[in-house]
Amino acid sequence: MDLRGNILKVLFLASEVAGLIKTGGLADVAKSLPAQLKANGHDVRIVMPCYSVIKGSFDNKIIGTGTLNPGSSLQMDYAIRQTFTSDGVEVWMLDYRRYYERTSIYGDNNQAYWDNGERFAFLASAALDAAKVLNFSPDIVHCNDWHTAIAPMILRIKYGGDKFFDKTRSVLTIHNGAFQGAFDRNQIRYVPEIFHVYNDMIVNGSYINFLKCGVFYADKINTVSPGYASELTTYLGGHGMAQNYQARAADLCGIVNGCDYGDWDPKVDPHITVRYDVNTMEEKILGKYLLQRKIGLQMGDIPLYGMVARLTDQKGVGILIPILDKFLCHNVQLIIEGTGDPNFERQMTEIAKRHPGKMVFKGVYDNELAHQIEAGADFFLMPSIFEPCGLNQIYSLAYGTLPIVRGVGGLKDTVIDYDSDNKNGTGFIFEEPSPEELLSCLRRTLIFYYEDQNEMQRIKRNAMNMRFSWEDSCKKYEALYADAAQKPKWW
Ligand SMILES: Nc1ncnc2c1ncn2[C@@H]1O[C@H](COP(=O)(O)OP(=O)(O)O[C@H]2O[C@H](CO)[C@@H](O)[C@H](O)[C@H]2O)[C@@H](O)[C@H]1O
């Protein structure tokens, strides 16, 4: 039930959902937000592709079949498979083998699948079709990122006169504005609505920008922090779409992600051996020793820096690599876990080789190790160039591992810089996206570590006392849904 006592039917569209399949933070949100909506009494369905990797691994059954473009030469028959998240939220996985029976979800060998435009246009279009097949008339269609961003356009153009969707309004959440999904629309002929969009969404004659389309047609738009929402309206932070965001400024807001404390709480975390909370923080040091031993670093009282991230430009890897040799001259240890750009992976491997006993690089995707780094490190590095919200700095706060972040997007909305606010500080912030500024910030933290351990414990307690609950974030989504519901059908 929302603040106004309404129970809403929510169709939640996402390309990945944690627990079923995850490559990044979108999956965390697509698991946790629907769970909280359900806990608040709403009637929620998640719709996602039935990737072959999950089809065989989770109990599921076919609960319906549908056809896009029945009777035409582009007819596509698909099945709706039902499964549930660990929180009991019903998931509809759209089974269309030609698109989803692949080894990965977006691409292989760091190369996106050539037909991703088709694959995700299908998801957006078939999700709405599936709602009709299963007679689930949603109040809100909640889209996430470019993968599902054309659904609001299909709602308007295809279903504008359809009584079934009469009360349906749409919300688009942007988790990453840099990925926009631009595809040749001649490749996506089975979504004919794509040929009726305004020219503004078309690039080079025939390319349609999915995210632009969502920003134009969605009733309400949000991103995952107020900071990033305002950056999107600027030419520096808008990823080339500043004007589009400016045009929708009245309908654009930022809602900081919650943290799933069921998964990320050092008091109960099953992935760590030594558990602790804010009152037993002295135990955290044992987790550090275990991590040092596990990754082959000397056990002891040496400042340990951790980082877990997709290795991309976004995450600031490009400003970190040039300063690592200098930073590692100090008496420090560093563990970096990440996969992504092969060039970054190669450079990280080489730097780690040059600094044995000081730096370890794990080019893997390993959830357990990620938890152990969050728990065992003293500091957590997140020098992002842009960051819509960021989850890892929020997890770090929960584990009393002080985040070192750039003052951008959701990072500056969630971390309080110790040097600007001694009393309430929870971490360290630097501003300029340059290697030099990052290095001087790292040196700042090093002095802090060696100068006053009592003060460090106090700041760790500040960090652990921060709370980013899904209860709070969900209330804001409910208010957003209520605002979307107020929108006239044709505004
Ligand atoms: N090698 C590895 N091993 C194990 N786990 C790994 C890993 N690499 C990444 N992860 C995990 O993936 C998630 C990453 O989440 P983030 O929010 O930090 O970034 P991401 O850029 O994917 O998300 C986008 O969407 C989210 C959600 O809205 C926004 O917070 C964010 O700013 C935006 O860029 C975390 O749960 C992290 O632990």
Residues with CB under 6 A from ligand 1: 24-26, 28-29, 175-176, 224, 257, 308-310, 337-339, 365-367, 370, 387-392, 410
Find the 409 Cα to ligand 1 centroid distance in Å. Answer: 15
Determine the average pLDDT of the residues in 80-95: 98
State which of 175, 180, 269, 412 you would mutate to test the pocket of ligand 1, scoring each by most atoms of that ligand within 8 A of its C-beta: 175
Residue 388 CA, closest ligand 1 atom number: 32
Per-residue model confidence (pLDDT) at position 116? 97
163's CB contacts (< 8 A; 6+ apart) are none
Per-residue model confidence (pLDDT) at position 489? 84
Interval 104-135: pLDDT, tens: 999 998 899 999 999 999 999 999 999 999 99
Find the 315 Cα to ligand 1 centroid distance in Å. Answer: 10
For the chain, the average pLDDT equals 96
For the chain, give the percent of residues with pLDDT over 70: 99
State which of 391, 406, 473, 477 you would mutate to test the pocket of ligand 1, scoring each by most atoms of that ligand within 8 A of its C-beta: 391
> Does 50 have pLDDT greater than 90?
yes
Residue 339 CA, closest ligand 1 atom number: 1
Find the 212 Cα to ligand 1 centroid distance in Å. Answer: 23
Of 281, 306, 273, residue with least CA distance to 462: 281
Going by pLDDT thresholds of 50, 70 and 90, the confidence category of residue 287 is very high
Residue 374 CA, closest ligand 1 atom number: 38
Residue 392 CA, closest ligand 1 atom number: 18
Q: Measuring from atom 31 of ligand 1, which residue has the nearest CA?
A: 390
**373 burial type by CB count under 10 A (0-12 exposed, 13-18 middle, 19+ buried):** buried
Find the 196 Cα to ligand 1 centroid distance in Å. Answer: 35
> Does 220 have pLDDT greater than 60?
yes
Find the 25 Cα to ligand 1 centroid distance in Å. Answer: 4
> Does 3 have pLDDT greater than 70?
no
The answer to whether 38 and 56 are in contact (CB under 8 A) is no
Task: Confirm or deny that 22 is annotated as ligand binding.
Answer: yes
Find the 172 Cα to ligand 1 centroid distance in Å. Answer: 19
Per-residue model confidence (pLDDT) at position 4? 64
Identity of the residue numbered 64:
G
Per-residue model confidence (pLDDT) at position 490? 73
Interval 448-460: pLDDT, tens: 999 989 999 999 9
Per-residue model confidence (pLDDT) at position 2? 58
Domains belonging to the chain, first-starting first, are: 9-258+471-486 (3.40.50.2000), 281-466 (3.40.50.2000)
Going by pLDDT thresholds of 50, 70 and 90, the confidence category of residue 203 is confident
Predicted-complex ipTM score: 0.97
Residue 391 CA, closest ligand 1 atom number: 17
189/173: higher pLDDT: 173
